[in-house]
């Protein structure tokens, strides 16, 4: 086999493969022997049909099958020989099989870029402090109390501030219903300010059983861009009035939260403080890693293969569509619109592919590997955090595709941890910092 590669541009190669006639002849002979043992032709015993007869009847199909087999058998070997890493199926141009002549085909490939890592160390990063104040603890305790509140009917017929109004409502734009804009038995806390400005004011003063129609202009901020500043119509029916009975914040409330493991109010406050600190720590870690990969990408530019972006874009769109379906929405009929979703997905996909390729390049250069003990430790953490049986978790990730995805996730985290160790991480107000620790020199 002879093969040659032509560099078309940064991301494209043309691979030409030539197989000598002897190899082609052997494949043809094997194909005709196999065919002779399968077909039945009148006047010939099975397995004794002359090759000339077979060639006359089935020659075109045999040559097609042999061509495909020759390509299949030689293509991977040629990729290995020239160290090519295609990211999509090749565009093949297959030559004809001619008596006594070499068999030639070409494959046009989109390949992974050769990434020159110009900088992977010494990035300047800032990590905030996981400070938890009394206001945050109080807000979390209030949230816990509200989560365990009870709605009880009120005697009054007229809606007042502080009530929870049980309503049905429908939303329209220019007289046409909005996809996902209708709800039944919606619990509206009057005075909470959780809905668009003006909506609560229209419901205040309504009587149980009353229906009301009104229009509101949507604010410029805090709503979908497609609805910002748009005039919408609402039809509301007040079905019932209730009030929330929120449990008092005391030792008894703390003990009732048996799943929290608190013995009194003080221990509950301490538990909430630790939980909030851990949550902030996680978010600070995620933000620091986002800043790190952004700086890594800026310092090491390279062209991203369109085929990889297209594949990742399809995955992102599928994820968005699934989230919309869970909310009872269809992307084509929602206010998002398919064009907007596709544009957003393309931008996100390009970034995700770029970062993935960069982290892979760092792993290759720095010889970072995922070992079996890394996988085992990760699965044990998953089992502990989810409360599931470790054996069940391991069985879930034994499937090849899931195992590959898991190893890729672990690899990315190992590379990020490696990059953080050689970065200059400081906290606000630090006079100086040293790599990895962020402590003053």
> What are the tokens at 378?
């990760």
Residue 122 lies in a domain: no
> What are the tokens at 132?
């938890």
pLDDT at 368: 95
pLDDT at 90: 95
216/326 same-domain check: no
Residue 416 φ/ψ, nearest 5 degrees = -60, -45
DSSP 95: P
Rounded CA-CA distance 199/192 in Å is: 11
> What are the tokens at 166?
């049980």
DSSP 258: G
Rounded CA-CA distance 275/284 in Å is: 14
Residue 363 lies in a domain: no
On whether the CB atoms of residues 403 and 397 are closer than 8 A, the answer is yes
Match 């594949």 to its residue by tokens: 311
Tell me the pLDDT tens digit for each residue of 12-53: 999 999 999 999 999 999 988 888 777 767 667 666 677 777
Match 């050689």 to its residue by tokens: 422
Q: How many distinct structural domains can be found in the chain?
A: 5
**Residue ranges making up the domain that contains 14:** 2-110
pLDDT at 271: 92
144/154 same-domain check: no
> What are the tokens at 332?
């084509």
Which residues pair with residue 233 across a beta bridge?
172, 215
154/236 same-domain check: yes
pLDDT at 193: 87
270/284 same-domain check: yes
332/413 same-domain check: no
Report CA-CA distances (Å) from 381 to 11, 285, 299, 393: 40, 18, 34, 10
Cβ-Cβ contacts under 8 Å for 83 (sequence gap 6 or more): none
pLDDT at 440: 33
9/44 same-domain check: yes
* CA 355 to chain centroid: 13
Report CA-CA distances (Å) from 186 to 163, 181, 390: 13, 12, 41
274/228 same-domain check: no
Q: Would you call 136 exposed, middle or buried from its count of C-beta atoms within 10 A (0-12, 13-18, 19+)?
A: middle
Residue 215 φ/ψ, nearest 5 degrees = -125, 145
19/50 same-domain check: yes
Give, in degrees to the nearest 5, the angle at Cα 191 between 221 and 196: 25
258/211 same-domain check: no
Residue 212 φ/ψ, nearest 5 degrees = -145, 140
Low-confidence ranges of the chain (pLDDT < 50): 432-434, 437-441
pLDDT at 386: 79
Rounded CA-CA distance 335/331 in Å is: 8
Q: Which of 245, 275, 290 is the last residue in one of the domains?
A: 245
32/82 same-domain check: yes
What's the residue count for the chain? Answer: 441
On whether the CB atoms of residues 32 and 16 are closer than 8 A, the answer is no
pLDDT at 85: 93
The closest of 3, 7, 17, 16 to 111, measured between CA atoms, is 7
202/343 same-domain check: no
Q: Would you call 361 exposed, middle or buried from its count of C-beta atoms within 10 A (0-12, 13-18, 19+)?
A: buried
pLDDT at 439: 36
pTM, rounded to two decimals: 0.72
């Amino acid at each position: 086999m002879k093969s040659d590669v032509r560099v078309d541009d940064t991301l494209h190669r043309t691979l030409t493969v030539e197989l000598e006639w002897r190899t082609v002849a052997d494949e043809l002979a094997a194909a005709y022997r196999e065919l002779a043992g399968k077909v039945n032709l009148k006047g010939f015993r099975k397995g004794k049909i002359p090759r000339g007869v077979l060639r006359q009847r089935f020659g075109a199909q045999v040559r097609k099958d042999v061509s495909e087999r020759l390509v299949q058998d030689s293509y991977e070997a040629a990729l290995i020989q020239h160290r090519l890493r295609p990211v999509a199926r090749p565009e093949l141009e297959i030559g004809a099989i001619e008596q006594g002549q070499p068999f030639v085909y070409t494959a046009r490939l989109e390949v992974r870029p050769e990434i020159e890592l110009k900088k992977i160390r010494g990035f300047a990063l800032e990590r905030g402090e996981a400070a938890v104040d009394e206001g945050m603890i109080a807000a979390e305790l209030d949230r816990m109390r509200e989560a365990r509140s009870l709605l009880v009917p009120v005697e009054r017929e007229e809606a007042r501030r502080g009530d929870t109004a049980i309503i049905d409502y429908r939303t329209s734009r220019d007289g046409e219903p909005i996809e996902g804009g209708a709800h039944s038995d919606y619990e509206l806390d009057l005075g909470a300010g959780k809905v668009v400005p003006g909506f609560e004011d229209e419901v205040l003063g309504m009587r149980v059983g009353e229906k009301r129609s009104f229009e509101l202009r949507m604010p410029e901020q805090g709503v979908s861009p497609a609805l910002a500043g748009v005039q919408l119509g609402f039809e509301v029916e007040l079905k019932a009035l209730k009030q929330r009975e929120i449990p008092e914040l005391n030792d008894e409330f703390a003990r009732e939260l048996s799943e929290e493991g608190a013995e009194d109010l003080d221990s509950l406050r301490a538990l909430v403080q630790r939980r909030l600190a851990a949550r902030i720590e996680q978010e600070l870690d995620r933000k620091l890693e986002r800043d790190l990969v952004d700086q890594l990408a800026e310092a090491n530019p390279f062209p991203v293969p369109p085929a990889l972006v297209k594949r990742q874009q399809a995955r992102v769109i599928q994820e968005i569509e699934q989230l919309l379906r869970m909310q009872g929405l269809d992307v084509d009929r929602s206010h998002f619109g398919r064009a907007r979703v596709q544009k957003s997905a393309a931008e996100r996909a390009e970034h995700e592919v770029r970062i993935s390729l960069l982290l892979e390049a760092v792993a290759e250069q720095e010889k970072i590997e995922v070992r079996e003990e890394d996988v085992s430790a990760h699965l044990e953490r998953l089992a502990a955090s989810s409360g599931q049986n470790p054996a069940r978790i391991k069985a879930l990730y034994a499937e090849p595709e899931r195992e590959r995805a898991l190893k890729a996730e672990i690899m990315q985290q190992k590379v990020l941890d490696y990059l953080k160790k050689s970065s200059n991480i400081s906290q606000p107000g630090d006079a100086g910092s040293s790599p990895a620790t962020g402590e003053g020199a």
